[in-house]
Structure 1
Amino acid sequence: MDRVPETTAGTRIGVVVVDDHAIFRSGLKSDLGPGIAVLGEAATVEEAIAVIQECRPQVVLLDVHLPGGRGGGGAEVIHGCSRLGSDTRFLALSVSDSAEDVVAVIRAGARGYVTKTISGAEITDAVQRIASGDAVFSPRLAGFVLDAFGTAAVASVDSELDRLSAREVEVMRLIARGYSYKEVAKALFISVKTVETHVSAVLRKLQLSSRHELTRWAAERRLL
């Protein structure tokens, strides 16, 4: 895990680069335009969460498949940084162009997903757009999402999720993945009692009776 002083960013867009290959991180940093300042970098889930929380970048360039943690890769990093809210946005960057990987990381909270074949000019543009609040997808990947779910299915899932608060969605995903209440509390920096309250609210709003049903509900909608 490497970090540079945040003051070097100036008025530039501050980013953190997360990838388990040092050569790729080095190449990516050299390709970024002068309007972008790299505040830090990381190679594992744990390192990424730590450096992102310390540097608080505007954008995180995040590999989808990372070692460490509970095996959740880039999605786990996003969940681990949830307390930063919308101040930090995530752009997934991967060699994978599978619909499953795309949807999983977008559901976790990433604002975009591009493949590693992207050029330096394109990644610079993508970072700028993500920082301004846009969503960015490689055209092929956006098509995969629609092909995999269909616009009606996406709308249906979004409608169900709209019943939940942002925090309830975070808790729901972790519980559905098998996290204990204590582990959820630690990941989200809240008390176990608060986790219990959120789980009860989620089950009530989704009309489910147990965490087993919640896991099945999330799995059927590919929200894990």
Structure 2
Amino acid sequence: MNRIKVLLVDDHAVVRDGIHYLLNSQPDMEVVGEAAEGNEAIAKAIETKPDVIIMDLSMPNGRDGLSTTSEVLQILPETKVLILSMYDDNQYLFRALKAGASGYILKSSLGKELLGAIRQVYNGQAYLHPGAQKKIIERFLNGKIDEEEDSYDLLTEREKEILSLVAKGYTNKEVGDLLNISSRTVETHKANIMEKLELTTRKDLIRFAVKRGLLEFND
């Protein structure tokens, strides 16, 4: 029997350990590698050429699961990506599908559901957890299936704070001092913001902030 080769990508070792044990207990599955962040995931995918990648959405070092998924699939188009997320949210769901993911499952799901999802995407079918299926149907019935998602809603509250301050001209150090975080942490947040909003330059970021009305200064 050919085993399904799976690559695990999650920044929490305890999550990877649990899934690793579950998958390797199956006669038709084999974990061929693990990665804790996006760049490592791309390198591991090239090295192991997995059939299925279980991909976390939120990871450190500025490369999230969405951008990692998109890049991996450009290199290995036959690989299937199953997003494993804690977010039961329209914005993340539709962005994941747009990035090319074959499935979207929640971390709160039972182990048997995860195993079924892996087998389903491996066999060329899409997998969405029941709540996601309902969201897709509702959007289709409401005629919104082709509408562009508002990427601003993908940002965390901290990222929204940093976006506003950076657009107003504050340096990383000044933002860090205001929010009591390090300059390096600010830079990581900025990278995440640029990825999520699909922006490439500071000018784009400022233009986005102006459009969203984020440049109001307090007296």
TM-score after normalising by structure 1: 0.62
Contact 1:90–1:112 (CA under 8 A) maintained in structure 2: yes
Deviation at 1:139, TM superposition (A): 0.7
2: distance between equivalents of 1:128 and 1:151? 31
1:61 and 2:54 equivalent? Answer: yes
Aligned partner letter, 1:63 = D
User: Which one has a bigger Cα radius of gyration?
Assistant: 2
AA matched with 2:77: S
CA gap of 1:156–1:127, structure 2 versus 1, over 3 A, is same
Partner in structure 1 of residue 155 of structure 2: none
1:139 is matched with 130
Tell me, yes or no, if structure 1 residue 178 matches structure 2 residue 199. Answer: yes
Match of 1:105 among 68, 71, 96: 96
Deviation at 1:85, TM superposition (A): 4.2
Equivalent residue for 1:86? 77
**Distance of 1:62 and 1:106 partners within structure 2:** 13
Matched AA of 2:72: C
Shift of 1:82: 2.8
1:31–1:121 contact (8 Å) kept in structure 2: no
> Which shows bigger deviation, 128-137 or 28-37?
28-37
Structure 2 counterpart of 1:144, which letter?
K
CA deviation vs aligned residue, 1:9-37 (integer Å, no higher than 9, x gap): x7100010000100010001111222111
SS of the equivalent of 1:153 reads: coil
TM-score (norm 2): 0.64
| Residue identity matched to 2:199 | G
Once the two structures are TM-superposed, the CA of residue 83 in structure 1 deviates from its matched residue by 2.7
Once residues 41 and 125 of structure 2 are traced to their aligned partners in structure 1, the CA distance between those partners, rounded to angstroms, is: 23
The 8 Å contact of residues 8 and 55 in structure 2, kept in 1 or not, is answered as yes
Q: Which residue matches 1:119?
A: 110
Q: Does 1:75 align with 2:66?
A: yes
Higher helix share: 1
Amino acid at match of 1:153: K
Contact 1:99 1:148 in 2 (8 A): no
Shift of the alpha carbon at 1:155?
4.8
User: Residue 9 of structure 2 corresponds to which residue in structure 1?
Assistant: 18
Deviation at residue 151 of structure 1 after TM alignment: 6.0
* Residue range with higher mean Cα deviation, 79-88 or 29-38: 79-88
Equivalent of residue 43 in structure 1, options 16, 36, 40: 36
TM-aligned CA deviation for residue 62 of structure 1: 0.5
The share of aligned pairs that are identical, in percent, is 30
Q: Deviations over 1:53-107 (max 9, x none)?
A: 211101000111111234xx11111122133343101000011111111111111
CA distance in 2, matches of 1:50, 1:75: 16
Q: Which 10-residue stretch deviates more, 128-137 or 25-34? A: 25-34
Q: 1:55 to 1:178 in 2, by over 3 A?
A: same
Give the number of aligned pairs.
159
Q: Please tell me the residue identity of whatever aligns with 2:32.
A: L
**What amino acid is the match of 1:178?**
L
CA RMSD of aligned residues (A): 2.9
1:116/1:47 Cα in 2 relative to 1: closer, same or farther (>3 Å)?
Answer: same
